[in-house]
């Protein structure tokens, strides 16, 4: 990830005509170019792909996340549609963390435009 971020920063410097010695912040260059950072692109992709898996029933991906449920009582994690990973694989863990950061509107909607809009809103809160 770090190497990809360095390449993206170098590309933005070329596009914006800045040199490393000028010490322009990456966030400012991202805004000038109108791009997302590598970290945010990855988070957006994971969120949208998991949303599609849940809503369209993609066989393997829909089983990566499990809803938190208890049989004898109702927990806040159930009412807010929170999930936990089925395995400790890095993708599953990252997916569940991102999913749980999302709004209830994102987790319960069946409209792709609403899901994309909600995912974009979360991206501003994530680190570069």
Task: Please give the average per-residue pLDDT across 14-18, as a whole number.
Answer: 92
Nearest to 82 by CA among 48, 61, 59, 106: 106
Closest CA to 37 of 80, 1, 81, 88: 1
Is the pLDDT reported for residue 45 higher than 90?
yes
Within a domain: residue 108? Answer: yes
Q: 99 and 52 in one domain? A: yes
Q: How many helices (H) and strands (E) does the chain have?
A: 7, 2
Q: Is the pLDDT of residue 86 over 80?
A: yes
Please tell me the pTM assigned to this model. Answer: 0.81
Rg (CA), the chain: 18
Is 66 found in the same domain as 28? no
CB 30 within 8 A of CB 12: yes
In a domain, 7, yes or no: yes
- Residue 128 within any structural domain of the chain: no
State the DSSP code for 57.
T
Provide mean pLDDT across the span 75-94. Answer: 77
């Amino acid at each position: 990830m770090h190497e990809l971020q360095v390449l993206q920063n170098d590309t933005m410097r070329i596009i914006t005509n800045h040199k490393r010695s000028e010490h322009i912040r990456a966030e400012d260059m991202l805004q000038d170019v109108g791009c997302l950072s590598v970290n945010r692109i990855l988070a957006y992709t994971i969120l949208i792909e998991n949303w599609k898996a849940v809503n369209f029933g993609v066989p393997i991906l829909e089983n990566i996340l499990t809803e938190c449920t208890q049989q004898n009582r109702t927990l806040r994690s159930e009412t807010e549609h929170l999930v936990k990973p089925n395995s400790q694989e890095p993708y599953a863990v990252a997916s569940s963390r991102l999913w749980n950061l999302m709004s209830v509107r994102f987790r319960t909607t069946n409209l792709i435009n609403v899901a994309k809009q909600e995912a974009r809103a979360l991206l501003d809160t994530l680190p570069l």
